[in-house]
Amino acid sequence: MSPLTNMLVFLATLAGMEVFAWWAHKYVMHGWGWGWHKSHHEPRSGWFEKNDLYAVVFAGVGVLLIAPDPADRPRHGRLSPAGMDRRWHDGLRLSLLRRP
């Protein structure tokens, strides 16, 4: 593929991931998944909260979607948005933990 096509696929993947994250937060986490997500809106009592189970579940789904690639194509376009998302949210979370 051309560099332009690669960039467009990357940007489309990033945009799609953000749309899914918005949808999952609104309709899953604040809907039928409130039992786990509620802990995110309450004072934390330890290092982890039930809401962290979403990261485990979504990471597992991501691994399942990446693993069965029969063509063994480079996976940068699929891994980079996830890495950017992880760095953004983990960085945000760590900065909130450091506040007095």
Q: Which amino acid is at 78?
A: R
Q: What Å distances lie between residue 55 and 11, 61, 62, CA to CA?
A: 22, 10, 10
Write down the pLDDT at residue 79.
Answer: 53
- Print burial letters for 80-93: b (CB count within 10 Å at least 16), e (below 16): ebbeeeeeeeeeee
Task: Please tell me whether the overall predicted TM-score, pTM, comes out greater than 0.75 for this model.
Answer: no
Write down the pLDDT at residue 38.
Answer: 93
Q: Is the pLDDT of residue 71 over 80?
A: no
100 pLDDT tier (thresholds 50, 70, 90): very low
Average pLDDT over residues 73-92: 55
With a pLDDT cut of 70, the percent of the chain lying above it is 64
Domain locations in the chain as residue ranges: 1-67
Residue 63's SS3 state is helix
